[in-house]
């Protein structure tokens, strides 16, 4: 490294470090770290929690290494209607590959996907969805699948809004992720969605690197092909990171109990229970989809993102519940 390049790098780091060092103060006093949140109870609860766990010498202080925050993806960081976006991906993929698989027309769960119009609810479970994806892509390498996801996510449009799926992320949650990271939290995704479906784009969209993504997965096999090592996708589901699976996924991938967890549905209940059962300061939040105008309104009866048991438990245990309608100034970045 030449001296001038080195100096430049040093100064940039210094400037950045100076900003970061002053962030808690600046964020809470001078600049609003959560500008898309209304000044209602959830925003106050988030800021109070972050203040107390980062305040050195306080009884609630948590060392930076233990500031683990986990986020569900579908319905918590991005939208999930008219179906999990991964179902729409699977539908496009199954259609693209259907000519090579005439048996899919009559074989469950493929036939359910193929016979349902895009705007309608597809009656598949998380497990069936993963089964469709792993079977449809078996024989592909992990690199080939990654390219398939990248190509789709860069071009596919949402059936209602016509936006890219990566534009349908929640602006308040992007701000929350950044706020937590600025306060030395390590942010993880813990989603029922496929781990290999999320990794290609979440770093750019959420600032969450691939190694901080926990999700459902298919089995992989290492082998040499023409002297080159590859990882082959097998037609077998390995793990479903949903409901009771979420604490298991957290333990397997993170090995440390989160101190804060964010979800929106019954699929997140066990993650929130697991998070809240640890000692010391804890935080659990549910996003309630009650804004039919700017987004969608659904809860107890929804096929995707059903919020029923988790809602009751949140009320009983005084967890933070966000009303998208009342607590968010803005839902999507494009508004």
Nearer to a second copy, 58 or 115 (CB): 58
Bridge partner list, 37:
328
Bond prior to 155 in cis (omega within 30° of 0)? no
According to DSSP H, which parts of 183-244 are helical?
Answer: 195-206
247 near a second copy (CB under 8 A): yes
Non-local (6+) Cβ contacts of 167 within 8 A are 332, 333, 334
6 near a second copy (CB under 8 A): yes
Smallest gap from residue 46 Cβ to a second copy (A): 16
21 near a second copy (CB under 8 A): yes
- Give the x-and-dash track for 282-321 against a second copy (CB under 8 A): ----------------------------------------
Nearer to a second copy, 31 or 252 (CB): 252
Task: Report angle CA 283, 78, 127 to the nearest 5 degrees.
Answer: 90
Nearer to a second copy, 216 or 302 (CB): 216
Stretch of residues binding a second copy (CB under 8 A), selected from 7-15, 85-93, 100-108, 280-288: 7-15
217 near a second copy (CB under 8 A): yes
d(CA 153, CA 129) in angstroms, rounded, equals 18
d(CA 125, CA 237) in angstroms, rounded, equals 13
101 near a second copy (CB under 8 A): no
- Collapse the DSSP code of 26 into the 3-class scheme (helix H, G, I; strand E, B; otherwise coil) and give the result: helix
Smallest gap from residue 303 Cβ to a second copy (A): 23
Nearest CA to 314 out of 282, 273, 278, 277 is that of: 273
Distances (CA, A) of 45 to 21, 37, 53, 173, 319: 23, 12, 12, 15, 10
142 near a second copy (CB under 8 A): yes
Non-local (6+) Cβ contacts of 32 within 8 A are none
Non-local (6+) Cβ contacts of 252 within 8 A are 214, 239
Are the CB atoms for 46 and 320 separated by under 8 Å? yes
10 near a second copy (CB under 8 A): yes
Stretch of residues binding a second copy (CB under 8 A), selected from 17-25, 93-101, 311-319, 323-331: 17-25
Q: For residue 275, give the H/E element and its range.
A: helix 269-276
Nearer to a second copy, 172 or 218 (CB): 218
273 near a second copy (CB under 8 A): yes
67 near a second copy (CB under 8 A): no
Smallest gap from residue 60 Cβ to a second copy (A): 12
Stretch of residues binding a second copy (CB under 8 A), selected from 148-156, 166-174, 192-200, 287-295: 192-200
Sort 6 into a burial class: Cβ within 10 Å, 0-12 / 13-18 / 19+: exposed
Stretch of residues binding a second copy (CB under 8 A), selected from 51-59, 109-117, 162-170, 324-332: 51-59
Task: Report angle CA 242, 107, 132 to the nearest 5 degrees.
Answer: 30
Q: Which residues bind a second copy (CB under 8 A)?
A: 1, 5-6, 9-11, 13-14, 16-18, 20-22, 24-25, 51, 54-57, 65, 68, 142, 186, 188, 195-196, 199, 203, 209-213, 217, 220-224, 228-229, 231, 244-248, 251-256, 270, 273-274, 277
């Amino acid at each position: 490294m030449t001296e001038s390049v080195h100096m430049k790098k040093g100064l940039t780091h210094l400037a950045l470090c100076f900003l970061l060092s002053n962030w808690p103060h600046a964020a809470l006093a001078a600049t609003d770290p959560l500008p898309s949140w209304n000044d209602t109870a959830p925003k106050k609860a988030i800021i109070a929690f972050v203040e107390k766990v980062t305040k050195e010498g306080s009884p609630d202080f948590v060392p930076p290494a233990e500031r683990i925050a986990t986020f569900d993806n579908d319905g918590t960081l991005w939208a999930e209607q008219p179906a999990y976006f991964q179902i729409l991906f699977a539908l496009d993929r199954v259609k693209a590959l259907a000519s090579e698989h005439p048996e899919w027309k009559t074989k469950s769960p493929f036939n359910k996907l193929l016979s349902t119009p895009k705007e309608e609810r597809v009656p598949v479970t998380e497990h069936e969805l993963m089964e469709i994806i792993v079977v449809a892509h078996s024989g592909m390498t992990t690199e080939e699948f990654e390219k398939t996801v990248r190509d789709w996510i860069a071009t596919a449009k949402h059936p209602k809004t016509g936006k890219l799926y990566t534009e349908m992320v929640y602006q308040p949650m992007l701000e929350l992720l950044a706020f937590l990271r600025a306060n030395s939290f390590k942010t993880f995704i813990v989603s029922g969605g496929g781990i290999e479906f999320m990794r290609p784009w979440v770093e750019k969209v959420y600032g969450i690197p691939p190694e901080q993504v926990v999700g459902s997965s298919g089995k992989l096999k290492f082998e040499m092909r023409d002297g080159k090592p590859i990882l082959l996708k097998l037609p077998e589901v390995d793990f479903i990171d949903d409901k009771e699976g979420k604490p298991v996924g957290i333990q397997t991938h993170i090995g440390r109990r989160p101190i804060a967890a964010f979800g929106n549905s019954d699929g997140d209940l066990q993650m929130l229970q697991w998070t809240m059962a640890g000692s010391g300061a804890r935080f659990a939040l549910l996003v309630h989809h009650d804004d039919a105008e700017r987004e969608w309104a659904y809860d107890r009866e929804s096929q995707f993102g059903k919020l029923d048991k988790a809602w009751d438990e949140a009320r009983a245990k005084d967890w933070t519940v966000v009303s998208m309608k009342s607590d968010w100034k803005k839902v999507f970045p494009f508004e």
